[in-house]
Structure 1
């Protein structure tokens, strides 16, 4: 299935870029609740996208991220507005996971096409990618903003063929979010779940092509040396 891959399309947050790096950068100001805040922020952020999809009430991911952070800061009793500003600013320059630069470089050397497909809006994605050591790796940075709905709506996954001209069966889609991986697989992408946390499978519709611990395993999975 993956042997026919023409393009690797990556989710951004949690797959290529470590969303935890935003809070880690300001751990001293947040204190002992830093880990809890990181987990809750991500959970609420994703929950809000699903709820907005159900309500038909799309908003930019930047707004959703801020709304989720507001909830989490209140839940942790953190009322200092400077912390909010610092965390939102840090979200524009998240750090890639350690194995990402070498993995993408290996794929590029092999001639593999690479792209991002993300819930993030362009004003979030572009500065983050530009600030990272993998800024020149991608031929396209695709955002759900152009269709006005979040993953796992099929309209999001259709953006790959519309923008990159590759049929679903030739796309290797990668996400650290199990629900996103299943959504993409259900749509028709051969999909790899990047299970960084060793979580159990959600068992949603859509059969996954493979599961890896991190992206360092991807070149061998694709037969790239």
Structure 2
């Protein structure tokens, strides 16, 4: 698909893996378990699976709680012997994740070019507040939009349409920037343009439509919007 800069009157950004690096969670695990990588991978996968299932079985709970339940499952499944207090210390890392190096400069350039930038995330409001504060991007983000507001997670169409209402623009005039393939598809299904942030050089998905634009850093997005 082809990205159309004229259809991007405002920009939405996913939070985890897009603005901030969730791999810090693996480092927190490494201090407490012998093999952190499989625990971290299972934790992240289960967390996303729980949100998607919750959309269909009326089992919403705030993302922080979803993440806690997923972490507990990952610890149980890998026979990691740690206490509930230690689990909660690992979980708290989500309040202090490191921002990617290109984010601040990229957002600054986008704002200078006239774009309002929003965060659209599964994270509940408390998580997003700490994310913005820790990343020091409060002066660059027009607002944060949480799945908690509609009690529906990505990639459900209702969340993207809610975001458009919050922004005050037609859904077709928004571009959603995310490192998550299913988030790209969810945004596109709702009528937005989907921008995939491929920081690791992963292969494209073989299922579903192609992203409207694939970028490696936020600087690439600035270039595309100036084209």
The answer to whether TM tops 0.5 is yes
**Structure 1 counterpart of 2:187:** 184
Of the structure 1 ranges 194-203 and 164-173, higher mean CA displacement relative to structure 2 is found in 194-203
Q: Distance in 1 between matches of 2:146 and 2:125?
A: 6
CA-CA distance at 1:200 after TM superposition: 3.3
List runs of 5+ in structure 2 lacking aligned partners: none
Q: How does 1:29-178 map to 2 (within 5 A)?
A: 29-31=32-34, 33-81=35-83, 82-178=85-181
* TM score, norm. by length of structure 2: 0.91
How large is the Cα RMSD of the aligned pairs?
1.8
**Residue 135 of structure 2: SS of its match in structure 1?**
coil
**Residue 182 of structure 2: SS of its match in structure 1?**
helix
CA-CA distance at 1:4 after TM superposition: 3.3
CA-CA distance at 1:203 after TM superposition: 4.4
**Structure 2 counterpart of 1:214:** 217
CA-CA distance at 1:25 after TM superposition: 4.3
**Residue 31 of structure 2: SS of its match in structure 1?**
helix
The number of residues matched between the two structures is: 223
User: Are the equivalent residues in 2 in contact too, given 1:10–1:16 (CA < 8 A)?
Assistant: yes
CA-CA distance at 1:12 after TM superposition: 0.6
User: Are the equivalent residues in 2 in contact too, given 1:186–1:206 (CA < 8 A)?
Assistant: no
**Structure 1 counterpart of 2:19:** 16
Q: Distance in 2 between matches of 1:89 and 1:151?
A: 22
Counterparts in 2 of 1:215 and 1:40: CA distance versus 1, 3 Å: farther
**Residue 29 of structure 1: SS of its match in structure 2?**
coil
CA-CA distance at 1:71 after TM superposition: 0.9
Q: Distance in 1 between matches of 2:205 and 2:54?
A: 21
Of the structure 1 ranges 144-153 and 73-82, higher mean CA displacement relative to structure 2 is found in 73-82
Q: Distance in 2 between matches of 1:28 and 1:86?
A: 11
CA displacement, residues 137-165 of structure 1 (integer Å, 9 cap, x when unaligned): 11110001111111111110012221111
Which of 197, 201, 210 is matched with 1:198 structurally?
201
List runs of 5+ in structure 1 lacking aligned partners: none
Q: Distance in 2 between matches of 1:38 and 1:3?
A: 40
**Residue 193 of structure 1: SS of its match in structure 2?**
strand
